[in-house]
Amino acid sequence: MQNHTGEHILSGILHNEYESENVGFHLSDNTVTLDTSRYLTEAELLELEFKANRAVYANLEIRAEYLPDEELERLEYRSKKEIEGAVRIVTIGDIDKCACCAPHVHHTGEVGLIKITKAIKWKEGTRIWFLCGSRALEYVQTVFKNADEVARLTSEAPDKIADGVKRFNETIQSLKADLFQAQSGLMEEKIRNISDIKSDVILFESISNSKIQRNAVNALVERFDGVCGVFSTEDNTSYQYIIGSKNRDCREVGRFLNEKLGAKGGGKPEMIQGSVAASREAIIGALKETLDI
């Protein structure tokens, strides 16, 4: 009843003040959504939430009554469809007047809290996720608990956690850049130390960036005439691979890996990429059947 009454309050305000209608409503055990007929900006959503809660604070009386036909004919009220027979009108102060057969609370104060939790563009309008009453309180408690934990981890006050997360993200990006340079330099050094007598070259590495992997394959292809590849892994049980060659159709090697090890991937004659769930030993054993490694 709290959530359904909250929907009436939101829909009434949308109708009266935003020239927007409720064109879809879903209420389940853990999700409540409302679809609007026009798109609402972030500022409008914040304003809508404030106005809805102001209606809650006003503790307006909610009346549900069946009106005579002659009175219904003169009455303006919301209804998604034409109704035949007796019409039950739910009135919430000057906020909403709607045909509805569902149960509601007796005063808006019983709704407790209306909290919009999410909104996305939906068709021509906006889909709003919201919670009311005890569900809204549980949600706010959970969010605040998480915010308090993030505040502790970032050494920021709860209302400043965005600054702490931003600082952490800048540090992570800086470390990623340092790691990229270090791994790139290591790969360049490994490639320089490979014997020139080789034709086919396959390397097994733990590389955090696919660009480093691709750059390494390009460098190998420039230096060696055969098939060159880099297999990268994090757990030694599955690999992401890039294989290239300037003289051989790499798709043949890809098809061979698919048949032998159930690999998945593809590409162009000069370069392919994909993944394979197999050990390093199994991959080497399979490649030795078609390459000189």
| Structural domain contains residue 190 | no
**What pLDDT does residue 29 have?**
82
Say if strands 114-122 and 88-92 run parallel, antiparallel, or are unpaired: unpaired
102 and 10, same domain (yes or no) = yes
In a domain, 149, yes or no: no
CATH number of the domain residue 91 falls in? 3.30.980.10
Q: What is the Cα–Cα distance from 149 to 5, expressed in whole angstroms?
A: 33
pLDDT at res. 71: 87
Task: With respect to residue 151, please indicate whether it lies within any of the assigned structural domains.
Answer: no
Within 10 angstroms of residue 70's Cβ, the number of other Cβ atoms is: 8
- Nearest CA-CA partner of 218 in 208, 228, 206, 204: 228
Cα dihedral 244, 248, 250, 253 sign: negative
**Residue numbers of the domain that contains 55:** 2-137
In a shared domain, residues 24 and 120: yes
Residue 189 lies in a domain: no
The answer to the question of residue 99 being in a domain is yes
Which residue, of 115, 137, 159, is where some domain finishes? 137
Q: Tell me: do 108 and 202 sit in the same domain.
A: no
10, 24 in Cβ contact below 8 A?
Answer: no
- Which CATH number do you get for residue 262? 3.10.310.40
Specify whether 7 is located in the same domain as 127.
Answer: yes
Looking at the domain assignment, is residue 292 inside a domain? no
User: Which residues of the chain are under the pLDDT cut of 50?
Assistant: none
Domain-terminating residue out of 92, 120, 137: 137
Q: Is 266 part of a structural domain of the chain? A: yes
**Residue-level pLDDT at 31:** 87
Residue 161 lies in a domain: no
Quick one: pLDDT at residue 92?
Answer: 97
Number of separate domains in the chain: 2
What is the model's pLDDT at position 41? 97
> pTM for this structure?
0.71
Query: Which residues lie across from 121 on neighbouring strands?
Result: 126
